[in-house]
Amino acid sequence: MERTLIIVKPDAVQRGLIGEIVARFERRGLKIVGLKMLQIDEPLARRHYAVHEGKPFFDGLIRYITSAPVVVMVLEGKQAIAVARNTMGSTRPAEAAPGTIRADFGVEVGRNLVHGSDGPETAAYEIDLYFKPGELLTWDRSADPWIME
């Protein structure tokens, strides 16, 4: 099973979309193994977005992600990263496929509602940023045989 980190970003929290976004991932068949609400501080934001340091949009990204609470969650499932990214849609909401989170609720790339890890190594790094050992659960979900072969 693969795990991925999802962040329900400040714009989605402020707009009251937490439940809708979480529900979409659950309806896709991904299992929540960790979930919490927090306020990202600047040091954590800088570690999370370190790959973008020095880019023109970096400072604005840090201000944005630290501007209001977020919800972070770890999802688990077969091909969880790809499934989650397809559920979110293109980074640019105007280019996202209809029915995705970003197409249904977003307009601008700077307010695209949700973050998802882009690969296994990134997912491992990001999960470790937000969850301590022991905070992630391993559990059997009775619906799994009806979701996965």
Q: Catalytic one among 6, 115, 127, 130?
A: 115
Buried b (16+ CB within 10 A) or exposed e, 57-77: ebeebbebbbeeebbbbbbbb
Put residue 17 in one of left, alpha, beta given phi > 0 → left and psi -120 to 50 → alpha: alpha
- Identify whether 115 is a catalytic site residue: yes
Distance CA 74, CA 30 (A): 10
- Residues carrying an active site annotation: 115
